[in-house]
Structure 1
């Protein structure tokens, strides 16, 4: 079932339509086999980068697509409906580029950003640590001055694209002044002292590599520090606010895929002399699934419009991430139920959607953290 989208311009509608065609042709046929084999589709990432999909929300003066965030997120949803791993790649890469694009010097942007958002360089975002996940301000990775460079030492955890990225946006402590002691660095993948753990053995998104990142006295020139010393925590949170909308869009695309699979099965499966979609108990379940998908989509679009209008959107981003990902988990679970025993087998895609949906409630800030963000905002009258 194709989603009829409301987009701000005819050009945006054409873009989303083109992405849908490409995703149907290039992504959907490869997803099942690649996820089974745990093979990362680096060639596809280069392809979508070269047609401009890795730079959509960035200004044209930076080499980006100049698209509103509202449009970028709906592109993410279209990708996720066909293959969540690829949509996650676009979202994480966009997250990794955000500090440079928003706070880099003109010289830094000119030097690195064109290849980053043009698809030649794949990024990874490195904030979490083994003992500093939700409490990002507690990170302990150090960046110590050494002349006109820094030496980075520490361990980062849960790094999407670990071992396959070309650059790593790393947050490290340059002083002990709490959140104000964190700085941001752009670390190239070939830096001496950079190494990775074995890929995590995950429940879902198995084609997307996730590893530990070790920094052992990695020498990083000062010109690769983004912003001033102490700006890192603000850059990290700013990127995450937008990244949470990316997760909401991906979760919505995944939920749409699960809903579509359930509808197709319910139309074709007969019990008691009629298609099972015509039985009220199942029909109502599908109606609730459709409502969940629509509500997640509406929330991320509204939050994106606030971002595009330069209005505060942190609260709305957390609400969208919370609702869309909880809804995706419920829709994927119900899709398995609609298919019954068939849904529990790998002969149908809903079991994969079920496994992939779970992590949406965890990364880019767990849904418990989103509830904390929302509740604290309410306490402050925001």
Structure 2
């Protein structure tokens, strides 16, 4: 019986670590050690229940959402890896680079325009790069080289199908034609979710459903056993009250492959943000930082939506920054009607003469003046 409980516990902690990618987090601000007080085990299940209900309620209020996300992603390479990256990208034409620095940062800046109607299961997103890829010296800021990325990708999805429009023919960094492909939505019966084939900002930032599922496991475990404890490591919850603001800080132990090894994830939830999570950090047992996530967001008609997110991962004995991703959310509109045409092929950005491939009907069309003209198959 003990072995069965441990397996379930490991599954839960892994799920909780995964949730950090979707949590709504705000900057650390005044989240210091000061004034946090331990919460006794008999209050833990009540606090977890309250937080899961609040995050679920916030998620459920997002019926229709439109906006834009400007993302900046930086990946850092070191030593010989940095040299290989520059050689591969610029094909040994690195004369302008000068001496290759110890570190090279690859910086990409993109924008995603999105629209979601969750009640009808409709999604639209258009992604494009705002500037060429830049390879820079992160210490000095010196630009080592750039690489242009041409074109944009537009995706439209319904519960039944997905249409993706991508560049088809390019010549000298100029798009000559584009091609749209319509196909059935792919998902597993055991996990009926569409996360992997579309951009869903609700899942990216505010997955209240996932929090609720994992917290229910913790609540059930605590109510049965009195506390959440694995190999001597326990779930810790602390409380801080200041004026009208209440914060809860949790430290969740997660067992690793080797017996006795753990990583610890710290999460803070803030009443000013509807008890959404305001910090996530994962560290090894000796305190080395593994990842850190912060999110800033605003309330629109009582619903909390992100305005800025920052995700960082670290590696090595010295916890050196490995990569980071900053997202700025703007032009946010909540629960305002979206024209139905937004979610049709007419909003893909096709030009006259572009191809439209319907893999469901096994037909090919040519886009012409907002219509799809069937391309007759040549007889053999």
TM range (shorter): under 0.3
Higher relative contact order (CA 8 A, sep 6+): 2
TM-score by length of 2: 0.21
Which protein shows a greater Rg?
A: 2
Which one has the bigger strand percentage? 2
TM-score by length of 1: 0.21
Which one has the bigger helix percentage? 1
